[in-house]
Amino acid sequence: MSRELIALGPQSLVLRDRVVLIARPDTVPLQRLIRRYEGEGRLIDLTQGRGARAAVITDAGFIILSPLRPKTIAERFLEE
């Protein structure tokens, strides 16, 4: 397993290999999933009060809300 980190927000990093999905959080299926995960204590909000532009789902069963756009996060995956 790689130990490479990806920045998802201000001073917030996640292991690259743990990310399963990066999507916009404004779709109905993601909104349902976000509400469910929030109720279960598995939602991590990195937006610091700003709007969430991306929802990152990890293989550990968490959703991370990021103020960054999905495209920005994807570009960080491609950087070496």
Domain hosting 24: range is 5-78
Total of domains in the chain: 1
Q: What is the pLDDT of residues 14-55, one digit of tens each?
A: 999 999 999 999 999 999 999 999 999 999 999 988 899 999
pLDDT band at residue 80 using 50, 70 and 90 as cut-offs:
low
pLDDT tops 70 at residue 78: yes
pLDDT of residue 9: 85
CA atoms within 13 A on the CB side of 75: 5
Structure tokens at 44: 């991590």
Do 27 and 33 form a contact (C-beta atoms < 8 A)?
no
